[in-house]
Amino acid sequence: MNDLDRAHHFARSLRMIVVAAARGAALVYLFRGLSTLVGGAFWYMERRPLLKAGMMPSSEAYEWLYEGAEQLLPAVLLALFSSALAQWLVPAPRAACLRCGYSTEKLTKPVCPECGSPVPLDRPEGD
């Protein structure tokens, strides 16, 4: 296992942690959203006579719907884009010159063509 393989392995583990954290947060938002909606529905059923009698403004009567949706939206987004988020936060490592950052992935000589400093070639070592 060479350094680049190790870096890829580390990035993969880090991405799995990010995905798990994003999905955990999505679950928290999901439960909060659902409990807001269920609680709001009961609240609404109790007060429907007031609403019908014109004793409660309709803007107030449906507030729980918006509050529930505000929780469910991040839940859906976090669940859908957890892998994309992980990919963005933990990009794939690439072999590069330590001094100038030039990509050393396709080099045949252990010298950076950009700045001339020595670079270790990442070759499969068969371990």
- Please give the residue ranges that form the binding site for Zn ion (CB under 5 A): 97, 99-100, 102, 112, 114-115
Query: Of 95 and 97, which has the nearer Cβ to Zn ion?
Result: 97
Whole-angstrom Cα distance, residue 62 to residue 123?
A: 63
Please give, one letter per residue, the 3-state secondary structure of 3-30. HHHHHHHHHHHHHHHHHHHHHHHHHHHH
* Cβ 112 to Zn ion shortest distance, Å: 3
Burial environment of residue 108 by CB neighbours within 10 A (0 to 12, 13 to 18, 19 or more) = exposed
Question: Is the Cβ of residue 44 or residue 102 nearer to Zn ion in the bound state?
Answer: 102
| Of residues 51 and 111, the one with the C-beta less far from Zn ion | 111
Residue 3 Cβ, how far from Zn ion at the closest point, in Å? 16
For the CB of residue 116, give the shortest distance to Zn ion in the complex, in Å: 7
